[in-house]
Structures are given as C-alpha cells and as structure tokens.
Structure 1
C-alpha cells in the first residue's frame, strides 16, 4: 500500500494539506500504540508498524519536494541516491550564482527557482494521474534535481 492509499488521497504532486491533516489524526486514533497496551504482542507490533508508516507518510506528503520524489519513485522514474545529469546551461548559470555569493544571492536564487518552477507549475498544480505523460513526469524530475541543487547553495549561504 502506498502513502496515498494509506491516507485515502488521490495520487498527486499537490496534496491537499487539510485532508492530509484530518486523515492523519484519524489514522493516529486508529493505530497509535497506546491504544493497544492490552492487545496481543502481534497486534501491538502491527499497530506500531502502522503508526510508524502513518508518521513517515505524513512527513513525506506534507512536504512538496518529498512528495515529488516519492511520486517519481512510485512511477519508477527516480532511484534512491540517483545521480542526475543536469543540463550544462543550468550548471553554468548556477556556477555564476555560486561564484558571486553575497547576502543578496538568496533573492537571486529564489527568483531562479521560481523561474524553473514556472516550467512545471501546471503539471504539478493540475496533476491528473490518468492523463499525465512520462515526458511531463521527466520534466518534473529535472525540476526536482535543479531545485535540490539550488537548495544546496542556499544552505551554504545559511552557514
């Protein structure tokens, strides 16, 4: 069972946060280990596993980047620890940003991220599992890796 099924949500790159929260509390009431203190050892173990899965699913589905990664993995388009080859023009732009790191760089990097997001915004915000193409998902994958790359630079600025 995938996390979307666990939370009874449609597969999406843009999860409804209010439905996610509501379902999370529902599932916690159902599977929280504290409710199984008088149950058999097997039932306690199962409740612990389900409660853990619910917590992990919540962590992934409430974060947009983690949701993108998870959905791409579900579709078999992203491997854990995958090394993705980014386009040379993107790398050149990022290298220039990286060389000129200043206090204002965060604004430039955020603007750059907004620019690359615009190329996939409609795919992410209007995701339709029945109509999505592999080509569209591959665009989202490239966006995911570009954003990850930009985030590393922003993280360096914070240090």
Structure 2
C-alpha cells in the first residue's frame, strides 16, 4: 500500500495540508499502539507497523520535495541512488554562484530556484495520476535534482 492509499487521498505532487492533518488524526485514532494494549501480540505488532507507516507517510507527504521524489519513485522514474546528469549550463551557472559565495548568495540561490521552478509549476499544480505525461514528469524530475543541488549550496552556507 502506498502512502496515498494509506491516507485515502489521490496521488498528487502537492498534498493539501489540512486534509493531510485530518487524515493523520483519523489514522492515529484507528492504529495508534496505545489503543491495542488489550489486543493479541499480532494485532499489537500490526498496529505498531501501521502506525509507523502512517508517521513515515506524514513526513513525506508534508514536504513538497519529498512528495515529488515519492511520486517519481512510484512511477518508476526515479531510483534511490540514481546518478542524474544535470544540464551543463545549469552546472556552470551554479559553479559560478558557488565560487562567489557572499551575503547575496542566498538571495541568488532563491532566485535561481524560482527560475527553475517556473517551467514546471503548472505541471506540479495540475498533476493528475492519469493525465500527466511521462515527459512532463521527467521535467519535474529534472527540477527536483536541480533544486536538490541548490539546497546543498544553501546547507553548506548555513553550516
């Protein structure tokens, strides 16, 4: 059972946080291990496993980047340790930015992130499981890897 099925919500790249919270509370009321103290060992183990899955799912579905990664994995378009080749022009732009890290760099990275998101924003906003093409999802995949690359720069600057 995937995380969307677990929460009984449609597969999407942008999960409605209000619906997610409501479903999470419902699932915790149903499967939290504290409600199974009088149950059999197997029922307790099942409840613990389901509760753990609910918590993992919440963590993923609450975060847009993690949700994008998860959907791409569900669709078989992204592998865990994939060596994704980013376009050379993007790498050059980021390398220049990386060499000139300054106080303005955070703003520059954020502006670059907006530039790379703009072409895929409509795909993310309008994603449907059956209506979004593989070609469009591959554009989202490239955005995901570019954003991940930019995030590493921001993390390094903060650290």
TM-score, structure 2 length as denominator?
Answer: 0.99
| Match runs of 1:1-159 below 5 Å | 1-159=1-159
CA displacement, residues 27-69 of structure 1 (integer Å, 9 cap, x when unaligned) = 0000000000110000000000000000000000000000000
Kindly state the Cα deviation for residue 81 of structure 1 after the two structures are TM-superposed: 1.3
Kindly state the Cα deviation for residue 10 of structure 1 after the two structures are TM-superposed: 0.6
Kindly state the Cα deviation for residue 104 of structure 1 after the two structures are TM-superposed: 1.1
Kindly state the Cα deviation for residue 7 of structure 1 after the two structures are TM-superposed: 0.4
Which 4+ stretches in 1 moved above 3 angstroms?
none
- Which stretches in structure 1 are left out of the alignment for 5+ residues? none
- Equivalent pairs, count: 159
Deviates more, 1:18-27 or 1:121-130: 121-130
RMSD across aligned C-alpha pairs, in angstroms? 0.5
Kindly state the Cα deviation for residue 130 of structure 1 after the two structures are TM-superposed: 1.7
TM-score, structure 1 length as denominator?
Answer: 0.99
CA displacement, residues 112-135 of structure 1 (integer Å, 9 cap, x when unaligned) = 000000010000011122211000
CA displacement, residues 77-119 of structure 1 (integer Å, 9 cap, x when unaligned) = 0001111000000000000100000111000000000000001
Partner Cα separation in structure 1 for residue 50 and residue 69 of structure 2:
22
